[in-house]
């Protein structure tokens, strides 16, 4: 079993969302906070996905977890899936697969949690059926002269090419089949990775003779047999890919788009008007938006909406799916994330790789 410190991830119902996030982070692989009563009996659970749905709903870190619990009443598992302590691994695996959950609290006769069973302990490499495609065709014009001889994804970060960090992350969570799109200086990528066997993965290459955009490059792939993880090759992030995939499944999405919060302070007083009448003024307000983070999960049902051999951006894919009433979901990243598009971003990525403090992340 997981041998999680149960008291460290237990919270009263009066806790805040920030305290729930701290619990989930302490739980490590479980990604779970336990909501308990004064006798330590289980009331409910909060998962990483519950927190992210709360972020999308506009809840702040200081708000009560009651808002998250209210959202959870409308989800498939409003009541936590649990099992009795001592339940066999075989029965736990059947329970998790049947309920589509990846962790189950184990309760004693009094309803107290004594341990948490994890799917990854019972069925390792839960993402083995997921393929990945990494978009690595860009020229990185804003990073010149660093990219005069190297494509942007091959720039070193922490002593390794950025692309190698991405491949290592995918291999660690069980992804074995990786497609890489190339265009600018493709030999630098192919010579380094080859067929991927030296890195514990199977790599194929999709070369774009002319840049097609992410959506257009996806249109070059053969028929998908299962979910596809799509990542821009110039992104450094601590995103939990397993949690991302679980969220995608929980939402029953055909496409899930990773997003991050972007804050913008208006340097002036913003005047609110109704026709010619001033109703109020907000001095230098902060505006918050969710922006595309360049990481996606798509199902085979998305493929018919991808054009063949013509330029098509991922924004075009999203708009087309939404227009056809397909299920597209947002997944807010609260972990470290940086798009290495400028020299300042590249330096920030180096700081993160070296363990130095950075300001990149999500303001929840």
Domain that holds residue 144: 131-353
Residue 290's pLDDT is 92
What three-state secondary structure class fits 95? helix
pLDDT in tens, 61-91: 999 999 999 999 988 788 899 999 999 999 9
CA count, 13 A, side-chain hemisphere, 85: 11
Mean pLDDT of 120-133: 80
Cβ(246)–Cβ(331) below 8 Å: no
For residue 1, is pLDDT > 60?
A: no
In a domain, 362, yes or no: no
Give the CATH number of the domain where residue 23 resides.
3.10.580.10
Question: Which band of pLDDT confidence, cut at 50, 70 and 90, is reported for residue 360?
Answer: low
3-state helix, strand, coil in the chain (%, to 5): 35, 30, 40
For residue 354, is pLDDT > 80?
A: no
108 and 140 belong to one structural domain: no
Give the CATH number of the domain where residue 305 resides.
3.90.550.10
pLDDT in tens, 245-264: 989 988 899 999 999 998 88
In a domain, 136, yes or no: yes
In a domain, 358, yes or no: no
Whether omega before 145 lies within 30 degrees of 0, making that bond cis, reads yes
Domain count, the chain: 2
Which segments within the chain are labelled E, that is strand?
Answer: 10-11, 32-36, 42-47, 83-84, 103-107, 113-118, 131-135, 156-157, 160-161, 177-182, 202-207, 228-232, 235-237, 255-265, 269-274, 277-283, 286-298, 328-332, 337-339
Mean pLDDT of 130-134: 94
- For the record, the structure tokens of 119 come out as 């799917």
Of 89, 122, 155, which residue constitutes the final position of a domain? 122
Residue 297's pLDDT is 97
Of 100, 122, 144, which residue constitutes the final position of a domain? 122
Residue 153's pLDDT is 92
In a domain, 292, yes or no: yes
In a domain, 309, yes or no: yes
Residue 3's pLDDT is 67
Residue 124's pLDDT is 65
12 and 92 belong to one structural domain: yes
Element (H, E) at 188: helix 186-193
142 and 192 belong to one structural domain: yes
Of 122, 153, 169, which residue constitutes the final position of a domain? 122
Going by C-alpha positions, the residue among 134, 91, 88, 155 that lies closest to residue 294 is 134
For residue 363, is pLDDT > 90?
A: no
Compute the distance between CA of residue 107 and CA of residue 88 in angstroms, rounded to an integer: 13
In a domain, 75, yes or no: yes
281 and 153 belong to one structural domain: yes
34 and 179 belong to one structural domain: no
173 and 47 belong to one structural domain: no
pLDDT in tens, 227-246: 999 999 999 999 989 889 98
152 and 41 belong to one structural domain: no
In a domain, 170, yes or no: yes
Residue 159's pLDDT is 87
114 and 136 belong to one structural domain: no
In a domain, 117, yes or no: yes
For residue 129, is pLDDT > 50?
A: yes
330 and 266 belong to one structural domain: yes
Residue 362's pLDDT is 45
Mean pLDDT of 281-299: 93
For residue 204, is pLDDT > 90?
A: yes
33 and 14 belong to one structural domain: yes
28 and 168 belong to one structural domain: no
Do β-strands 10-11 and 32-36 pair in parallel, antiparallel, or remain unpaired? Answer: parallel
For residue 161, is pLDDT > 80?
A: yes
323 and 193 belong to one structural domain: yes
pLDDT in tens, 323-352: 999 999 999 998 899 888 899 888 888 888
């Amino acid at each position: 079993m997981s041998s999680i410190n149960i008291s460290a991830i237990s919270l009263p119902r009066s806790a805040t969302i920030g305290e729930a996030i701290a619990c989930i982070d302490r739980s490590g692989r479980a990604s779970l906070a336990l909501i308990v009563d004064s006798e330590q009996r289980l009331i409910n659970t909060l998962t990483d996905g519950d927190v992210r749905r709360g972020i999308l709903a506009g809840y702040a870190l200081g708000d009560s977890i009651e808002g998250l619990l209210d959202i959870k009443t409308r989800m498939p598992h409003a009541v936590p899936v649990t099992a009795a302590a001592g339940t066999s691994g075989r029965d736990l695996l059947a329970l998790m697969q049947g309920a589509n959950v990846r962790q189950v609290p184990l309760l004693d006769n009094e309803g107290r949690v004594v341990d948490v069973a994890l799917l990854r302990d019972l069925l390792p490499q839960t993402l083995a059926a997921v393929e990945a495609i990494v978009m690595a065709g860009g020229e990185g014009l804003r990073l010149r002269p660093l990219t005069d001889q190297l494509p942007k994804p091959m720039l070193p970060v922490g002593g390794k090419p950025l692309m190698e960090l991405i491949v290592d992350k995918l291999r660690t969570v069980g992804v074995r089949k990786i497609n890489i799109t190339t265009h600018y200086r493709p030999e630098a990528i192919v010579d380094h990775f080859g067929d991927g066997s030296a890195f514990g993965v199977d790599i194929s290459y999709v070369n774009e003779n002319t840049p097609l955009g992410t959506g257009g490059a996806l249109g070059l792939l053969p028929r998908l047999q299962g979910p596809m993880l799509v990542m821009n090759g110039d992104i450094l992030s601590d995103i939990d890919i397993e949690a991302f995939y679980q969220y995608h499944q929980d939402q029953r999405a055909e496409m899930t788009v990773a997003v991050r919060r972007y804050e913008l302070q208006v340097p002036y007083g913003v005047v609110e008007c109704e026709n010619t009448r001033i109703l109020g003024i907000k001095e230098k307000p902060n505006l918050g938006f969710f922006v595309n983070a360049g990481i996606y999960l798509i199902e085979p049902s998305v493929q018919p909406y991808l054009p063949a051999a013509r330029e098509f951006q991922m924004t075009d894919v999203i708009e087309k799916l939404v227009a056809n009433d397909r299920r597209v979901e947002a997944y807010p990243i609260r972990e470290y994330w940086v798009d290495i598009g400028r020299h300042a971003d590249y330096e920030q990525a180096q700081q993160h790789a070296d363990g130095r403090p950075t300001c990149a992340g999500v303001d929840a």
